[in-house]
Amino acid sequence: MHRHRSAAAAGRPRPCRRLFSRTPARRARPRDGDRRDMMQQPFTETTRQKKAGDTLLSVRDLSKHFPIRDGVLQKVVGHVRAVDGVSFDIRRGETVGLVGESGCGKTTLSQCVAGLTTPTSGQILFDTGSGKPLGPEDSIARLPKDRQRIFRRNVQMVFQDNFASLNPRELVVDIVGRPLRVYREASGTALTERVVELLEQVGLGRQHLYRYPHQFSGGQRQRISIARALALDPDLIVLDEPTSALDVSVQAQILNLLGDLQHHRHLAYLFVTHDLSVVRHMADRTVTMYLGRVVEEGPTETIFREAAHPYTRALLAAKPDLDDDPEAPLAMLEGTIPDPARPPKGCRFHTRCPVSTPVCGWEVDDIVRLLEADEGLFQSLSGVERRSDVDADLTFADEASALALWEALRSDRVPGAMREATEQLKVEGRSLRVRFSEVDEVHLTPRGEGHRAACVLGQPE
């Protein structure tokens, strides 16, 4: 009587046949734990000094616009500016936290960095090992095929929805082993052993090889996603809200795992999240985005200690803290995020900013946004004749509506800074003539060592 049973008889799925092909592995790899122990040893000081501080990825004036189509012929009538002129760097071995409200463009930017979305304009420069400072020839859109392959294997992504990002029809051994097969790193039993090593590094084991994604909890599925991202030993991992769908205790486990992996493998992370507590725990530098643009960036501790932009301060004030008075109301941002298809001029946060000034960039569209909140006046608006973004005539169906808007613009219904920025406000029959002060675009300016903010307040002389 046979003592051994087949995999099917033992009650588990039969391993995929291609994993045990007779094709020899590209290079011999040990089957014991020596390689795993070697990979988990910290880098030597010499290696750290060689890699630390080198710019791994540089984003330069990156934009991603999505067309708005209308009509039977689907004519392009506008663009949603999801990402609009973003620049920042990621150094080897560091974690950059990307924060902001939902809809500010974080996920779109992360997908552009990972090479999953083609940007409309701008450059993403990546160090593929040329040994020279990054230049236009290092743009991922212009890399030759061999260097493009290096970029693909060295930039991996962990998605927010760990269930949707894992193929429900494949076993874990196939999911984690696919990058190794694509790059011909291993095959047959050597590939299976490599997958086991990866699973053990993220807290799973051999017993999980022949299971499907639906048989795991959310935290375990996220560990599988991380193991797949680690398969090719990348330099940069893009983490798009990796813990937002997990319980608090599981979040801590995943964050500690990511920290340990970064220490042992000298990884760089682009950590996309809206949880400021996670950013403070994980990130070396923080980049704050609002409506497609970077409004502040700098060392994480500097951002949390002395944030220079009102939007960053508002995000910090809205974060609940166990030390706060439970009876005290939480600080909340007033107003809604403007339409990214027609973002505000100047500082894009000025429409919701509690400390806005007359030079923040008020324009005619600010009046249109005010009308949209008043259905009666907006419905009576028959046309807007623009001479510029800050000068226009608004025509209404009757004189009473024009006079009502004139009174509203002179009242407390609008911010005081908007009233001060108004150079002309005149009613002529059914038309209202309005003109604001012309101001320049608000750009990032230095606020300290490695700290920049896009705000007219606190700018250096």
Q: Are residues 290 and 381 in the same domain?
A: no
In 3D space, the residue among 129, 19, 130, 121 whose CA is nearest the CA of residue 65 turns out to be 121
What's the confidence (pLDDT) of residue 131? 74
Q: Is residue 50 part of a domain?
A: no
Q: Answer whether residue 411 is part of any domain.
A: yes
pLDDT in the model for residue 459? 78
Question: Do 138 and 248 have their domain in common?
Answer: yes
Say if 73 falls within a structural domain.
yes
Structure-model confidence comparison of residues 17 and 86, the more confident one: 86
Secondary structure E strands in 241-390: 268-272, 285-290, 293-299, 381-388
Same domain for 291 and 368, yes or no, is no
Lowest mean pLDDT among 76-90, 165-179, 359-373: 359-373
Residues 138 and 223 in one domain: yes
Report the share of the chain in percent with pLDDT over 70. 85
Mean of all residue pLDDT scores within the chain: 85
Contact at 8 Å (CB) between 117 and 80? no
Measure CA of the first residue to CA of the last residue in the chain; give whole Å.
90
- CATH of residue 369: 3.30.1360
233 and 110 in a single domain? The answer is yes
Q: What is the pLDDT of residue 249?
A: 82
Query: Would you say 244 and 273 are in contact if contact means Cβ atoms under 8 Å apart?
Result: yes
Q: Is a pLDDT exceeding 70 seen at residue 325? A: no
348 compared with 131, residue with greater pLDDT: 348
Whether the predicted pLDDT of 108 surpasses 60: yes
Task: Give tens-digit pLDDT for 292-303.
Answer: 999 999 999 999
What would the two tokens of residue 118 be? Answer: 């083609």
Q: Is residue 291 located within the same domain as residue 383?
A: no
**Confidence band of 250 (pLDDT split at 50, 70, 90):** confident
Q: Is residue 45 part of a domain?
A: no
Domain of 136: which CATH number?
A: 3.40.50.300
For the chain, the domain total comes to: 2
Q: Any idea what DSSP says for residue 272?
A: E
Average pLDDT of the residues in 171-197: 94
What the block records as the tokens of 82 is 């999801």
Range of the domain at 132: 55-169+212-305
Does the structure show a pLDDT above 80 at 5? no
Shared domain for 61 and 133, answered yes or no, is: yes
Cα angle 166-169-174, degrees, rounded to a multiple of 5: 70
Whether 159 and 252 map to the same domain: the answer is yes
In a domain, 188, yes or no: no
Cα–Cα distance, 285 to 279 (Å, whole number):
9
Verify that 299 and 387 share a domain, yes or no. no
Higher pLDDT, 368 or 2: 368
**Within a domain: residue 349?**
no
